[in-house]
A and B are shown apart, each in its own frame.
Chain A
Amino acid sequence: MINKKALGSTLLLTAGFVLHINAAVAEDKALAASGADSVMLGNTCAGCHGTNGSSFGPASPSIAGMGKDTLVDAMKAYKEGTRSGTIMNRIAQGYADADFEAMGDFFSKQTLLVSAQNADAAKADAGRKLHKEYCEKCHVEEGTKDEDGAGVLAGQWMPYLHYAMEDFQSGAREMPKKMQKRIEKMVQKEGDGAIDNVIHFYGSRK
């Protein structure tokens, strides 16, 4: 952790630098970067997302091991209102891009600790096959690796995954075009239970 602190002060300087650029470039009254380092900012999230971002559930998502860009994009979307949340839209207003980047630095370096969930074995089994056919191309390595903003799905809390899918389908959250096509195809071919099965597959991962 001492090492992290040394790194933290470096980041602080970087954050200060970004702030400087922002002030010069941005004309609007955007909130300046807080100047707090990645550890300080990361620690504020633990109350809901778990210590170092590994959530004990039952619904708040884990954010440990999330790709830096994925986290930054999510926070920006919450801030701009293009992604709907419960409390996250209100919280995201309190930070600047440099803060999101510092948070992304912190959580992308954390190892996800997965808690056991009550995933239905039969559903998870069916979900595994569906995942392979419809999801694996982007959610690589059985959803354990966050590549190109796909997020970490393996071991994610199932209620949260249900919320996310509901929001994607209702339009409350924008669905990537590729995903939209695949989901439509999957539900058409495999029936309404397909999404639930895939969620149980991710929830069964340890």
Chain B
Amino acid sequence: MTQITRRNFLKLSASTAAISFSGIPFIAKGEGKKVVVVGGGVGGATTAKYIRMADPSVEVTLIEKNADYHTCFMSNEVLNGDRSLDSIKFGYDGLGKHGVKVVIDEVTAIDAATKKVTTAKSGDFTADRIVVSPGVGFKWDAIEGYDEKASETIPHAWKAGPQTALLRKQLEEMADGGTVVICPPTSPFRCPPGPYERASQIAHYLKNNKPKSKVLILDASDKFSKQGLFTQGWKELYGYDIEQNGKNEGSLIEWRPASGGGKVVKIDATTKTVTAGEMEDVIKADVLNVIPPQVACKIAHQAGLTNESGWCPVNKQTFESSVHKGVYVIGDACIATDMPKSAYSASSQAKVCATAVIASLQGKEMVTPAYVNTCYSIIGPNYGISVTAVYRLEGETITQVSGGLTPADATPEQKAREVHYAYSWFANITHDIFG
């Protein structure tokens, strides 16, 4: 009998691999297995594609409500007019080329126990594994006066598309001297630096087109993502925190933290007025952008995948739901400890999830996961900043092991490069998702 030493075992593994390479038919264990992916955003589309790339014998069906997807990332550039709405629009033909069956329909129910997904018009789909990537839902009852109906005239523009177009139109129609009010929500929410990049991009538009106007941020929090870098950029480009006659005047951007009267209490959609702070200041906006507090999208709640936080707890190594076996939750909707709710996070989680789903279908052990996040924010022309992180699984948590922000003393050249790399990130990640 041969003893299996480490050396022999390595040899054995190597020769097994060699046999597979030599053309002897490899019987894929995923053969005939079905995966249904709910949601065609960053997380869902990437998972569907990467499952097919890794094991084409698995049948993958992706169900998405809209025929086109508008990326939230880069949508702030649509608001300032630098970018067309079409340039952030993507379809699902690319996924079809990878053999993903794409169904454009609304998922009305997920039965986690029987692995059945019900749609509005296309009937039921059963699967061996379900991947749920539904994104965020809005807590419409959180701010008095701001509900789904109000969002038809007061855009949130936190899901890109018609909402982005509406906010852009209102900015174009606003007279010079107007006030644009942006109301970021309480954490956690999709794209933590997003509201502040939005303020920057709108300020850029106002500076060039309506210089007597201003952006007022009424914040539900006392601090925000990349705060030091944003405020540094605002000071350099737009004027920020300039005190005149004891008042905050002469600044294109004003930020009011929750503790400084920024917390929004009430919205009046017809008059575009906001009541904020303990003193209940009434602020009249010319353009009002309310980003409501968020939870996992409603289908995740219907499927029973959420906990008391409103988000979905998962096994951090596989993204399998902690509630329902065989159902995986990725992207903004899941709880991924250190990872922010960003597109890169969703992409990174999708690849870990795809590997885990295949391992599970093939009856293999899941390998060690690797996760990364990078978020660029463009403050103005040739002025880009970023935050980046590498994570590892440590016990039950996804822990950041490296990363950080653009250095505060970065040169103008480095900030310009970050813009070019931000555009490269956009080109590459969208191709990685939809191509």
Residues of A at the B interface (CB closer than 8 Å) are 1-3, 5-10, 12-14, 17, 31, 34-37, 39-41, 43-51, 55-60, 86-87, 90-95, 157, 159, 163, 166
Contacts and interface: CB of A to CB of B under 8 A. Distances in A.
A17 B6 CA distance: 10
Q: Count chain B CB atoms within 10 A of each CB in A87, A93, A157 and give the residue with the most.
A: A87
A87 B388 contact: yes
B428 A47 contact: yes
A51 B417 contact: no
Contact of A12 (B20, B367, B388): B367
Given A50-B431, A87-B421, A41 B13 contact: no
B402 interface: yes
Contact of A35 (B55, B368, B404, B429): B368
Contact of A3 (B20, B391, B392, B431): B20
Contacts of B55: 1-2
B153 interface: no
A59 B421 contact: yes
B196 interface: no
A157 B420 CA distance: 12
B401 A60 contact: no
A163 to B, nearest CB: 6
A50 B374 CA distance: 14
B351 A43 contact: yes
B54 A1 contact: yes
A51 B431 contact: yes
Given A10-B17, A40-B355, A2 B403 contact: no
Contacts of B119: none
Interface in B220-254: none
13 contacts: A2-B28, A2-B55, A3-B26, A13-B13, A36-B367, A36-B368, A40-B351, A40-B352, A44-B348, A47-B347, A55-B428, A87-B388, A91-B388
A3 B16 CA distance: 9
B10 A87 contact: no
B17 A3 contact: yes
A31 B401 contact: yes
Contacts of B303: none
Contacts, number: 151
B388 A40 contact: no
A99 to B, nearest CB: 8
A86 B423 contact: no
A57 B431 CA distance: 11
A94 B401 contact: yes
Given A37-B367, A40-B352, A59-B423, 7 more contacts: A1-B56, A10-B10, A40-B368, A40-B369, A58-B420, A59-B417, A87-B421
A177 B390 CA distance: 34
Given A34-B368, A50-B431, A94 B403 contact: yes
Nearest to B52: A1
B403 to A, nearest CB: 5
Contacts of A92: 402
A49 B50 CA distance: 16
Contacts of B355: 39-40
B367 A91 contact: no
Interface in B364-378: 367-372, 374
Contacts of A87: 374, 386, 388, 418, 421
A46 B424 contact: no
A10 B423 contact: no
Interface in B387-435: 388-392, 401-404, 406, 413-414, 417-418, 420-421, 423-425, 427-429, 431-432, 435
Interface residue tally on B, bucketed by range: 35 or more
A12 B392 CA distance: 15
Given A2-B28, A44-B351, A87-B386, A60 B424 contact: yes
A1 B26 CA distance: 11
Contact of B13 (A9, A34, A46): A9
B421 A86 contact: yes
Nearest to A33: B368
Interface string B336-349: 00000000100110
Contacts of B367: 8-9, 12, 36-37, 40
Nearest to B11: A10
B21 A3 contact: yes
B53 interface: yes
Contacts of A46: 347, 428-429, 432
Contacts of A55: 424, 427-428
A7 B19 CA distance: 11
Nearest to A60: B424
Contacts of A10: 10, 13-14, 17
Contacts of A41: 370
B427 A56 contact: yes
A56 B421 CA distance: 11
B429 A47 contact: yes
Contacts of B418: 86-87
Which A-B residue pairs are the 3 nearest by beta carbons?
Answer: A94-B390, A94-B402, A60-B424
A106 B371 CA distance: 16
A60 B414 CA distance: 14
Nearest to A17: B6
A93 B402 contact: yes
Nearest to B16: A6
Given A86-B386, A159-B420, A6 B428 contact: no
A15 B431 CA distance: 31
Contacts of B414: 86
A100 B259 CA distance: 46
Contacts of A13: 9-10, 13
A9 B148 CA distance: 49
B159 to A, nearest CB: 21
Contacts of B423: 58-59
